[in-house]
Structure formats: C-alpha cells, structure tokens
Structure 1
Amino acid sequence: MITITEFQKIGVGITGFGIFFVLFGILLYFDSVLLAFGNILFLAGLAIIIGLRRTFTFFFQRPKLKGTSFFLGGILVVLFRWPVIGMILETYGFVTLFKSFFPTVFGFLGTISNIPGLSKFFQHYAENGSAV
C-alpha cells in the first residue's frame, strides 16, 4: 500500500479547498476572486502532493505544452477579472492536460456500482431510465 506523508495530506486538503473554491466561484456566477483563489490553492496543493520538480516536469512536457498554455493562460485571464473566458480556457487546458487519466477515473467510477447502496440505485436507474 502507498504511504502518504503528513505533508502530502496537507497538500490533498489544500487541493480539495482549491476545487471547492472553484466550484463555489462558478456557483456564485463566476466570482473572479473565488475562482482565482481556488486556482492558486489547486496548483499549490498539487505542487505539495507530488513535489515542485514533478509538477514542473508534468506541466512542461513537450506534448502537454498546449494544455499547459491554455490552463495557465486561463488562470491569468481569471486574475485579470474575465472569469467566463478564463474558465473556458482553463477547462480546455485541463481536459487536454489530464486526458490520459480519464480512462483510469472512469474505470474507478465503474467499480462504485459494487457498493451495496449504490448498486441498487444504479440497477433501479438502469431499469426505469429515471432517477425519481
């Protein structure tokens, strides 16, 4: 099993707060201050979790430069108080950067149906085609 240091646990918390602030900023009609704060916390938490060198090498690999430029450019546009355009740029950059992780995430979500309460919900949803 993978051991997680206390420092990495703090990084997970900071990343979680970053995601929370981004989602809360979107919920409050693209509040640029919350979005900027969330972006900064997300990047800081990611750097704490995997380290500064790994973060830098992840974002600045040659095949990922396009995604990195859109993601960091979107953050910069949000900081300049154009949140809708910045979030569109960030979303495109995020999808481009992390597209290699999506099959793993969807595979994990597929195993959630093995959880007793959720499997009944998914079976009911699949049979009726309605969640209500």
Structure 2
Amino acid sequence: MAEDWLGTTGFGIFFILFGILLYFDSVLLAFGNLLFLAGLSIIMGLRKTLAFFFQRHKLKGTSLFLRGVVIVLLRWPLLGICLETYGFFSLFKGFFPVAFGFLGNASNIPFLSALFRRLQGTSSMV
C-alpha cells in the first residue's frame, strides 16, 4: 500500500520535471504538484506533514512553496516554479548536508567524495 503512494509522489516529481522540459506547461506542473503533495502527505501522514511544514522556523519556506503551487494552478508557471524552488530549498536546507555526507561516504570515487565533503561543510545544521 505504501509503495502505491510512493509511486504517486514519484509520478508527481516526474510530471513536474516533464512540465519544466516542455517549456513550463502549466497543466503538467499543476498535476505534478497535486500528485507530489498528495503522495507526500499520505506517506508521512497528514499530521506529521502539517507538523513538518508549519514549524515556526520553516514558515517562510512553506509560504513560498505553497504560494508557488497556487500560482502554478493559476497558470503562471514560470513565476510559480521559481517560488516553489526557493521555498523547497529553504524548507530542506537542513537536510542537504546530511544527504551530501551520506553520498560522500557511500561513494568510492575520490573526486565525488571530496566534492560531497566540501558541500557538506558549507551549511550548518540547526
């Protein structure tokens, strides 16, 4: 059952990327946003999703991300995707050093591990 909702989130990401590749097609972007948010809220649970997005220090990123979704739904895709991207990065800025550290440790390629270690040290976790 959880795999189905993971697929929904994956299709959401696919439709967002495909909508960007097709010169910001607003229908594909809107459909991708809805699938992504629905899949994410079902995977994490509605209460945990709301708790994650509406933490005090993440309200700026949440408001920008959700405004971007609404603007894409109102058929202003370029402005909406720009707002969503900035909101996404401000929401998940504490996760990126952890992800880069994992990729740096998992990688056996010397150049990539050095690059990921350097990227991991650029941001501080709170």
TM-score, structure 1 normalization: 0.79
CA offsets per residue over residues 13-67 of structure 1, 9 Å max, x none? 1111110000000000000000011111111111111100000111111111110
DSSP 3-state at the match of 2:23:
coil
Dislocated runs of 4+, deviation >4 Å: none
Query: 2:50 maps to what in 1?
Result: 56
Moved more, 103-112 or 60-69: 103-112
Query: 1:11 maps to what in 2?
Result: 5
Task: Supply the distance in 2 between the matched residues of 1:112 and 1:34 (Cα, whole angstroms).
Answer: 34
Query: 1:127 maps to what in 2?
Result: none
Q: CA deviation at 1:112?
A: 4.2
Q: How many residues align?
A: 113
The reply on whether 1:74 has 2:71 as its aligned counterpart is no
Largest Rg, 1 or 2: 1
The amino acid across from 1:35 in the alignment is L
DSSP 3-state at the match of 1:99:
coil
Query: 2:88 maps to what in 1?
Result: 94
The amino acid across from 1:103 in the alignment is P
Query: 1:129 maps to what in 2?
Result: none
The reply on whether 1:23 has 2:36 as its aligned counterpart is no
Unaligned runs of 5+ in 2: 113-126
Unaligned runs of 5+ in 1: 1-6, 123-132
RMSD: 1.8
Instruction: Percent identity, please.
Output: 69
DSSP 3-state at the match of 1:30:
coil
